[in-house]
Amino acid sequence: MLYSHAKVEIFETINGALDDAYIDDSQNALGIKASLGFVYRVDNMKFKIIANWYRYDFGNLHAQSHALNQALEEASLQEGIYSIGLGFVYKF
């Protein structure tokens, strides 16, 4: 299990003026992580491969309107990361 906190500020400007809708919110999320690794050793050499996968779902963020000064439809934020690492070590 992983914990993360996201602070999100999204807005648009048109010719230097703020557009109507914007997001300025923060959310906490619990995520999951899965890892798989393999190590192969021969004498003084070691070869390693590792794969990691993370996923967070931060839920809903509140979108606001400058003109209406009220909440609009909600936006959601998710994050997923997949990585692969390779390593080679030789001891003298």
Domain count, the chain: 1
Domain of 79? Answer: 2-90
Chain centre distance of CA 33: 12
The answer on pLDDT for 30 being more than 80 is: yes
For the record, the structure tokens of 81 come out as 């990361």
Average pLDDT over residues 31-48: 88
Summarize pLDDT for 55-85 with one digit per residue, the tens: 888 777 777 776 666 666 667 778 888 899 9
Alpha-carbon dihedral 16, 61, 29, 13, rounded to 10 degrees: -10
